[in-house]
Amino acid sequence: MDVQSYIHGVGRRARAASRSIAKADTATKNRALKAMAAAIERDAGRLLEANARDVAEAKQHNLESAMIDRLTLTPKGIAAMADGLRQMFLGTPIRSICIHPPWIKDISPLDAEWELNESRAKGGMVTNRDIVDAVIYAVTRPRHVTIASMIIDGDVKGTDYRSHQEP
């Protein structure tokens, strides 16, 4: 089976499952969340092994270091996923947001350039500092405001630049 067929199949099954989940009562949803958290912890070793193969392949294909950092899974990250699921069934409010960043200029918070980015002019490339600022903005909104998704694009050379590709 090719990748495209596989992904389409996963999407169709997820859509069908979402309809059942939407109709489920709270106790059923909580059991599912507990089972997912337990499965993540139980299979942590397998997840890390599979991720290590993905990271090695990404490096082999010269993926940028910032992308490899986002791809890399750690034991702490796995624990956070399981804990996040548990918080959901404990009734602890969680904010979840999907960020779609463009290609970015990766600068260190320790570099002087990090502070200079605060007052950047139009026409510059998006940096990781811009992403941090967007996330801080999203998570500091009042509880009744939900930002479910953000697409962050740069303004390159005075034009709106849909920059999910390397400039």
Distance, in Å, from the CA atom of 167 to the CA atom of 161, rounded to the nearest integer, reads: 9
Helix locations, the chain, DSSP H: 3-23, 26-42, 44-60, 65-71, 75-89, 112-116, 128-139
pLDDT band, residue 37 (cuts 50/70/90)? very high
Distance, in Å, from the CA atom of 82 to the CA atom of 87, rounded to the nearest integer, reads: 9
Write out pLDDT tens, residues 88-137: 777 655 556 666 666 666 666 667 766 665 555 566 667 777 777 887 88
Cα–Cα distances in angstroms (integers) from residue 139 to residues 23, 81, 115, 163, in the given order: 29, 18, 21, 24
pLDDT at residue 16 is higher than 60: yes
Write out pLDDT tens, residues 47-89: 999 999 999 998 998 888 878 888 888 898 899 888 888 877 7
pLDDT at residue 10 is higher than 70: yes
Q: Per DSSP, what are the bridge partners of residue 149?
A: 98
How large is the average pLDDT for residues 23-30?
81
How large is the average pLDDT for residues 20-33?
81
How large is the average pLDDT for residues 20-48?
88
Q: What is residue 101's predicted lDDT score, i.e. its pLDDT?
A: 62
Is residue 150 within 8 Å of residue 98, measured between CB atoms? Answer: yes
Q: Is 86 exposed, middle or buried (0-12, 13-18, 19+ CB in 10 A)?
A: middle
Residue with tokens 């999907």: 98
Q: What is residue 71's predicted lDDT score, i.e. its pLDDT?
A: 83
Write out pLDDT tens, residues 138-167: 778 776 777 767 777 666 554 444 444 444
The token pair that represents 37 in the structure block: 């958290």
